[in-house]
Amino acid sequence: MTDSFRVTAQWDAEAGVWVATSEDIVGLVTEAATLDDLYRRVVAVTPELLADNDVTGPDPRTIDFHVLADITGDAAE
What's this model's pTM, rounded to 2 decimal places? Answer: 0.76
Q: How distant is the alpha carbon of residue 36 from its chain centre?
A: 11
Domain 4-68: top CATH class? alpha beta
DSSP of 3-54: SEEEEEEEEETTTTEEEEE-SSSTT-EEEESSHHHHHHHHHHHHHHHHHHTT
pLDDT tens, position by position, 15-26? 999 999 999 899
pLDDT tens, position by position, 34-70? 999 999 999 899 889 988 988 877 666 677 777 776 6
The domain segmentation of the chain, as residue ranges, is 4-68
CB atoms within 10 A of CB 59: 7
Sequence-separated (6 or more) residues with CB below 8 Å from residue 59 = none
